[in-house]
Amino acid sequence: MVKNLEHFDKLVEAFGKIPGVGKKSAIKYAYYITLQDPFFGLNLAHTIENSIHSLKHCTICGGISQNEICDICVDTHRNNSMICVVESPKDILTIEDSNSFDGLYFVFNDINSVSNLKDMILKFDAKELIFAFSPSINSDGVMLYIEDQLKDLEINFTKIAQGIPTGVSLENVDMLSLTKAIKDRKEI
């Protein structure tokens, strides 16, 4: 390391902590935002700060939102009869990008439990629960658990079609495969 560049080194180190960013890229980013385009760098810092302060989890679905309730949950034009259960709020962004689904979402994770999901189903009078988990033994277990917990409700359970490779998260699946997987969903 070059001497007396502690701030720069810290920045490189910070970028290196971002998943998927290696040392070379970290140096490239740090150089770009400090020396190549410092105005952009300051703007980026400001944007990051604003995002962190303004974003929260929707109290209904657990998705990313600027308000207590997200734009999807308040949108009366969406199909309330279908709720797509995903593993991460990021998956909502991915599926929305694919334009293949116009129902609602629910993020199932440690924060958002099955009782919240039950509340949501009853609130919207949903008729179909679509599991959009990336395939793994663990996700099969979670699906069975949720189904069992909700067996008293009048709701159909489906899951997105195979074709999504095992262990690959939704954000890394191409749009065409994702659209097809949602369209070809199967009863479970």
CB of 55 to Zn ion, least distance (A): 13
CB of 16 to Zn ion, least distance (A): 33
Residues forming contacts to Zn ion in the complex (CB under 5 A) are: 58, 60-61, 63, 70, 73
CB of 37 to Zn ion, least distance (A): 36
User: By C-beta, is 26 or 84 nearer to Zn ion?
Assistant: 84
Give how far Cα 148 sits from Cα of 144, 145, 151, 155, Å.
6, 5, 5, 12
User: By C-beta, is 58 or 178 nearer to Zn ion?
Assistant: 58
Closest by CA position to 12, among listed 34, 29, 36, 37: 29
Closest by CA position to 104, among listed 84, 124, 75: 84
User: By C-beta, is 86 or 164 nearer to Zn ion?
Assistant: 86
